[in-house]
A and B are shown apart, each in its own frame.
Chain A
């Protein structure tokens, strides 16, 4: 999508193209049409186009407050207790590799509560272990 948007007052005078310090604007005259082109990776959002446009045609607000672009969508693993989204399978695999252990799909809260429950069960009397037993 383009963030450089002009309104119906644009008459193709090319003042913006000629005055863009970042060379982010260009045009193509082809057959019966003139196409104004904008390259966001070059644009410094300096506003010179907006300043010099004699037609007040450049709607610069779209370069200040744009929409979010989706970049990538990955599968998601959730906490097996509460369903809170955690991380992607690839991230889990990397962590498992670095820790050399199988990861538990638990959110921090349920990891803590399960660890506490395990501790409780391992106390003498709860697990059958006797004091001093090795």
Chain B
């Protein structure tokens, strides 16, 4: 899922202080599950931002809402009500959600309340770890299901660097060396030959190197109504 982190409160206050009425809008999917931008977080942020001590003048009025996904234009357009008098939106969605709101409600300013951080998975309750860079050309079949692009600090392709010590990466913070993990996994799978195979250099074009990526699913796009 997409993992996001709430921006520092001071940064958000600084962004909203000049508006009169702000809708704090949570997103009901990824950022709800990673406990950073759902309905509860939106309500909490609304309460925190309403405290007068943050402002020199009168604080803005904060309304709170949440929609299941902010990243779908038609859904947002048809089902998200904007209270009358709202002069800015504060979105707790990922960057995709923020931009969708900005498109739908132009020229209303849309302020991001989160920093979108990574594509990750939950290894244990309350902990999310980056697992995927969205490179567009998945090589997990060769690496035992462990991505060296996302999980090696240098995104190395051909084995560990000299900074790998005792199974850990030199960047510290208890970060495992992805290549140590890959080799161990391949051994268990009896597929170490994958490690020894010579592969052609990676084409980074599908990873966004050639501009904005777009996908059209044949059939659905043509059949859908123009909502």
Which residues of A line the B interface, CB within 8 A? 15, 19, 45, 47-48, 51-52, 54, 60-61, 64
Contact = CB atoms under 8 A, between A and B. Distances in A.
B225 interface: yes
Contact of A52 (B68, B75, B79, B224): B224
Contacts, number: 23
A94 to B, nearest CB: 21
B227 A45 contact: no
B220 interface: yes
Interface string B69-90: 0001011000100000000000
A45 B75 CA distance: 11
A108 B224 CA distance: 57
14 contacts: A15-B223, A19-B220, A19-B223, A47-B72, A47-B75, A51-B74, A51-B220, A51-B225, A51-B227, A52-B220, A52-B225, A54-B225, A60-B79, A64-B68
Contacts of B75: 47
B119 interface: no
Q: Is the interface of A mostly helix, strand, loop or mixed?
A: helix
A63 to B, nearest CB: 8
Contacts of B79: 60-61, 64
B220 A48 contact: yes
In this complex, which of A19, A48, A64 has the most chain B Cβ atoms within 10 angstroms of its Cβ? A64
B225 A64 contact: no
Given A47-B72, A51-B224, A60-B79, 8 more contacts: A15-B223, A19-B223, A51-B74, A51-B227, A52-B224, A61-B79, A64-B67, A64-B79
Which 10 pairs between the two chains have the least Cβ-Cβ distance?
A51-B224, A47-B75, A52-B224, A52-B223, A45-B68, A64-B79, A64-B68, A61-B79, A19-B220, A51-B227
B216 to A, nearest CB: 14
Contacts of A47: 72, 74-75
